[in-house]
Amino acid sequence: MLCPWRTSDLGLLLLFTVFSVAGSEARDYTMAVCMLENEKIQELHSPRTSANSCMDGKQMTENNSSALTEVNILESVPTGTKAVLCCPPVLLAKVMLMTWKITLRGQSLCTRAHKKETNKTIDTNCTDGRITWASRPDLSPDLQINEVAVTHDGIYICETATFNGNFYNVYQLQVLVPPEANIFFSENKTLVVCETAAGKPAAQISWTPEGHCVTKDEENSDGTVMVRSTCSYSDSNVSTVTCLVSHLTGNRSL
């Protein structure tokens, strides 16, 4: 995400993907992401795949004053897995209102709220059936995403209103998509093309041995990226060429 007011390049690799969205929603989404990047982000790159990863009622902080008012989290999750996003560790007995605010690429703001006094839950503009409460909201306010997809990239905020003030967990969820990789040779093997398709974020391509190489990236409408690297080898003594593909989901040699 290219933010002109950023003061550092925190998480440059993880934040490589630029969302292409039209209209005012795109501007709002871009501003939300840029504001989050400029915070001191607590990076948690191990994907959560079960509701057990969040604190239960017995582990909640007895004294809300010891909990951080706001925690910013960069969460990377592979496609096809289950993710659980946690609310602040506040004792449920002291909670008045729990609200999830979800901003996805190209969509209106979705809010899920649970009011303790009436034990009522209200959803507004939430159309993705894979995003649900991890349990009954009166027992656990955490959010669960079943079968994570590229469309789940976005900002997820849990706002917990208590008698002692409000507490926030702010997630930037980045969905990881392993790229498909292929290599192609010209007839005389002096020109080699290595290509990765539909990866997220963009894969990195390197060569052994090094040649005269040109690498180009092309972003798809869903946020995935195609990377194509073309290398020429004028030295006829080069008999073996290896394309090295590096990605957050794993590395490959072709």
Instruction: Tell me what percent of the residues of the chain surpass a pLDDT of 90.
Output: 42
pLDDT digits (tens, 9 = 90+) for 21-59: 334 444 343 334 333 433 333 333 333 333 345 754 434
pLDDT digits (tens, 9 = 90+) for 100-111: 999 998 889 999
Contact 144, 173 (CB under 8 A): no
Of 155, 175, 195, which residue sits at a domain end? 175
Same structural domain, 93 and 162: yes
pLDDT of residue 161: 92
Going from the C-alpha of 20 to that of each of 36, 49, 160, 198, 202, the distances in angstroms are 18, 28, 32, 15, 15
Dist. CA 199–CA 202, nearest whole Å:
6
Of 175, 192, 217, which residue sits at a domain end? 175
Same structural domain, 67 and 158: yes
Structural domains counted in the chain: 2
Q: What is the DSSP string of 64-114?
A: GGGS-SEEEEEEEEETTS-EEEPPP-B-GGGEEEEEEEEEETTS--EEEEE
Q: How confident is the model at residue 236 (pLDDT cuts 50, 70, 90)?
A: low
For position 69, which CATH number holds?
2.60.40.10
Dist. CA 115–CA 138, nearest whole Å:
9
pLDDT of residue 190: 78
Closest CA to 140 of 42, 43, 58: 58
The answer as to whether 97 is a domain residue is: yes
Dist. CA 104–CA 21, nearest whole Å:
11
Same structural domain, 71 and 124: yes
Closest CA to 73 of 25, 31, 39: 39
Of 112, 142, 175, which residue sits at a domain end? 175
pLDDT of residue 82: 93
Same structural domain, 93 and 119: yes
Contact 76, 112 (CB under 8 A): no
Same structural domain, 104 and 215: no
Whether a cis peptide bond, with omega within 30° of 0, leads into 209 is yes
pLDDT digits (tens, 9 = 90+) for 166-185: 999 999 999 999 999 998 88
Q: Output 159 or 68, whichever has higher pLDDT.
A: 159
Dist. CA 68–CA 41, nearest whole Å:
13
pLDDT of residue 51: 37
Residue 193 has pLDDT above 50, yes or no: yes
- Look over the chain and give the mean of its residue pLDDT values, rounded to a whole number: 76
Domain of 242 in residue numbering reads as 180-253
Q: How confident is the model at residue 67 (pLDDT cuts 50, 70, 90)?
A: low
pLDDT of residue 250: 86
The 8-class DSSP code of residue 203 comes to -
Same structural domain, 161 and 69: yes
The answer as to whether 234 is a domain residue is: yes
Same structural domain, 150 and 94: yes
pLDDT of residue 211: 83
The answer as to whether 18 is a domain residue is: no
The answer as to whether 189 is a domain residue is: yes
The answer as to whether 241 is a domain residue is: yes
Same structural domain, 205 and 238: yes
Same structural domain, 227 and 191: yes
For residue 182, what are its two tokens? 């292929």
pLDDT of residue 126: 93
Same structural domain, 160 and 193: no
Q: Output 92 or 245, whichever has higher pLDDT.
A: 245
The answer as to whether 12 is a domain residue is: no
List b or e across 52-78, with b for residues whose CB sees 16 or more CB atoms inside 10 angstroms: eebbeeeebbeebeebeeebbbbbbbe
Same structural domain, 92 and 47: yes
pLDDT of residue 94: 86
Residue 74 has pLDDT above 50, yes or no: yes
Residue 146 has pLDDT above 70, yes or no: yes
Q: Output 160 or 60, whichever has higher pLDDT.
A: 160
Same structural domain, 171 and 223: no
Residue reference for tokens 């239960």: 56
Dist. CA 22–CA 170, nearest whole Å:
24
Residue 129 has pLDDT above 60, yes or no: yes
